[in-house]
Amino acid sequence: GDAKAGRAKAVSCQACHGLDGLSKLPDAPNLAGQVEPYLVKALTEFRNGTRKNEVMSVAAQELTDSDIANLAAYYSGIQIDVVPPG
Amino acid sequence: GDAKAGRAKAVSCQACHGLDGLSKLPDAPNLAGQVEPYLVKALTEFRNGTRKNEVMSVAAQELTDSDIANLAAYYSGIQIDVVPPG
């Protein structure tokens, strides 16, 4: 996927997931630094109906395979640092 | 949820998601710092069959409501810092 193209496409995602990949709503997950193949799978499953969500089942309909690959590249590419639990 | 009890229960999750909440497998998402209500919803949906995954549909069967709340408290409580994309 092309992260730069993904960032452009992510304007459609930002109200819930942020351009920074941090959730803006209690039901929306953070996407920053998320595992790339997991993101591809999630979006593909929302698009084909295997996974259902009021918002995402609709939003995913308009995504091409390239869009999905690009969005996954963008959000997975945001660097996160984890503070190890004590 | 009780994060300390969640940490104890998370030994069942760590092979795929890590005790640190960082994925150990391409199909497993990071859980570190994930939104708490989202985690509760995900585990509840895997348990009741609304959401399906080869591994999680089985793993969630043995979780009580308390287990779910505690695991969500534990993983959501791991601090993450995001480096804003350029």
Which one, of B22, B36, B38, B20, lies nearest residue B70 by Cα?
A: B36
What's the angle, vertex CA A52, arms to CA A39 and CA B84, rounded to 5? Answer: 35
Separation between Cα atoms, residue B22 and residue B19, nearest integer Å? 8
Q: Do B29 and A35 touch (CB under 8 A)?
A: yes
Answer yes or no: are the C-beta atoms of A47 and A61 closer than 8 Å: yes
Write out the H or E segment, with its range, that includes residue B80: strand B80-82
Question: What is this model's ipTM?
Answer: 0.93
pLDDT at position B83, please? 83
Nearest beta carbon to residue A28 from set B33, B35, B36: B35
Interface probe with A: pick from B52, B53, B83, most Cβ of A within 10 Å: B83
Q: Which residues of B touch A85 (CB under 8 A)?
A: 7, 19-21, 74, 77-78
Model confidence at B85, pLDDT cuts 50, 70, 90, reads: low
Q: Please, what are the domains in chain B?
A: 3-76 (1.10.760.10)
- Calculate the alpha carbon distances from A25 to A13, B40, B67 in Å: 12, 14, 23
pLDDT at position A44, please? 98
The overall average pLDDT reported for chain A is 96
Please say if the pLDDT value at position A86 is more than 80. no
Where do the H-state alpha helices sit in chain A? 3-9, 14-17, 36-48, 56-59, 65-76
Q: What is the pLDDT of residues B16-43, one digit of tens each?
A: 999 999 999 999 999 999 999 999 999 9
pLDDT at position A74, please? 98
pLDDT at position B66, please? 98
Q: What is the pLDDT of residues A38-62, one digit of tens each?
A: 999 999 999 999 999 999 999 999 9
